[in-house]
Chains A and B, each alone.
Chain A
Amino acid sequence: MTTALAQGITHTTGWESAIFYVLGTIAVLAALGLVLARSAIHCALMLVVVQFCLAVFYFAQDAPFLGAVQIIVYAGAIMVLFLFVIMLIGIDSSDSLVEVLRGQRVAAVVLGFGFAGLIVFPTGSAIAGTTAVGLDSANGVGNVQGIARLLFTNYVFAFEIVSALLIIAAVGAMVLGHRERTPRPTQRELSEQRIAGEHPSAWTGPGVYADHDAVDSPALLPDGSPARASLPENMSQDDIIERVGIEK
């Protein structure tokens, strides 16, 4: 190793290599589990595993701030949001196995292997023998201080734009998630409607003078015919009337 390269890192420490190989394997397996698991909950848990592995990698690569943000924001907040929505729209909404496009899955897997080859092999040949400068000097005053200095000098416009983006996203989520409620009639409106209507007395309850008092058996009028008004509105009234007898 020449003196110029003496500053650089050509090999990581044994500990970091061990962490890389163990957690890298776990991360790849968990990512495959994310793609292959049927239940959305299992997918979310697999993604949490991947994100924890990546957080450890950030710590190992002299990025403690990003490692902490990864755990707090990603594995904490964002994944809780995902799980919240999964619970909201139904935990049993697992994928259908019906193939809508013929051969789409096979094509996707083949394309995936091709894409992996396209990324991994050129990268592998390009990084052979490279040395890393390392972050010892850049992190000299501290990782958080270094990031803050860059964030508020070189990247201050991007920082401001991102803050605007966050506010827009929050407002957008509120607009999308807000549901217009149809106003329920008040008690006064209901009673006025009843008095002004053609049926001022109380509605006949189901089961009056009928042979049983189930809610789907209509009240019988004096001539023995079923009273349609005694049935709840949300039932299939025609079927019931037809079953019970002739409507008056």
Chain B
Amino acid sequence: MNPANYLLLSGVLFTIGTVGVLLRRNAIVVFMSVELMLNAVNLSLVTFSRLKGTLDGQVIAFFVMVVAAAEVVVGLAIIVTIFRTRRSASVDDANLLKY
């Protein structure tokens, strides 16, 4: 197996995450799909690190993990706040800015 095949797997996982964001209504599941996309990108970064023989890819993947952790904290706090006012976690219900 060519070691670059991990990139194909990463692309497939990223695509599935994208479809999840487009399909799902529950804000938490949408968020998990975004996490899946971030994980797929991390896999490709680690693979590039191995292909190129430097550790820069792994450092950047590490940064992606940290930023993802911060993003999850703020995003889930927003979801909880919206749920408190609207009693719903569906992204269709938070449409007040539309009008």
| B15 touching A166, Cβ below 8 Å | no
Mask, A26-39, CB within 8 Å of B = 1, is: 01100110110000
Docked complex Cα distance between A170 and B11 (Å): 32
The main secondary structure of chain B at its interface with chain A is helix
Does chain B have a CB within 8 A of A94?
yes
Mask, B28-60, CB within 8 Å of A = 1, is: 110111011001001100110111111110110
Stretch at the interface among A53-61, A220-228, A231-239: A53-61
* With A70-B65, A112-B19, A135-B53: A78-B88 Cβ-Cβ less than 8 Å: no
Does chain B have a CB within 8 A of A214?
no
Q: Which of A117-144 contact B (CB under 8 A)?
A: 119-120, 123-124, 127-130, 132-135, 137-139, 143
Mask, B59-99, CB within 8 Å of A = 1, is: 10111011111111110111111011000111010000000
Min Cβ gap B27→A in Å is 9
| B84 touching A179, Cβ below 8 Å | yes
Taking CB atoms, residues of chain A closer than 8 Å to B62 are: 65-66, 69, 147, 151
| A177 touching B28, Cβ below 8 Å | no
Of A12, A16, A169, which is in contact with the most chain B CB atoms at under 10 Å from its CB? A169
Mask, A79-94, CB within 8 Å of B = 1, is: 0011001101110011
Docked complex Cα distance between A101 and B34 (Å): 21
Does chain B have a CB within 8 A of A43?
yes
Docked complex Cα distance between A33 and B89 (Å): 20
Q: Which of A158-210 contact B (CB under 8 A)?
A: 158, 162, 165-166, 168-170, 172-173, 176-177, 179
Residues of A within 8 A of B (CB-CB), count: 89
| B74 touching A47, Cβ below 8 Å | no
Which one of A40, A66, A162 contacts B61 once the chains associate, using CB atoms below 8 Å? A66
| B32 touching A44, Cβ below 8 Å | yes
| A66 touching B58, Cβ below 8 Å | yes
Taking CB atoms, residues of chain A closer than 8 Å to B77 are: 172-173, 176-177
| A95 touching B16, Cβ below 8 Å | no
Which one of A28, A108, A135 contacts B9 once the chains associate, using CB atoms below 8 Å? A28
Min Cβ gap B10→A in Å is 9
Residue of A nearest to B22 (CB): A108
User: Can you list 20 contacts pairing A with B, beta carbon distance less than 8 Å?
Assistant: A11-B3, A63-B50, A63-B61, A66-B62, A69-B62, A78-B69, A82-B31, A82-B76, A96-B92, A112-B16, A112-B22, A120-B15, A127-B8, A132-B3, A133-B52, A138-B55, A158-B63, A166-B66, A169-B73, A176-B77
Interface residues, chain B, with chain A CB atoms under 8 Å away: 1-9, 11-20, 22-26, 28-29, 31-33, 35-36, 39, 42-43, 46-47, 49-56, 58-59, 61-63, 65-74, 76-81, 83-84, 88-90, 92
Interface residues, chain A, with chain B CB atoms under 8 Å away: 9-12, 16-17, 20-21, 24, 27-28, 31-32, 34-35, 40, 43-44, 47, 50-51, 54, 57-58, 61-63, 65-66, 69-70, 73-74, 77-78, 81-82, 85-86, 88-90, 93-96, 100, 104-105, 108-109, 111-112, 115-116, 119-120, 123-124, 127-130, 132-135, 137-139, 143, 146-147, 150-151, 154-155, 158, 162, 165-166, 168-170, 172-173, 176-177, 179
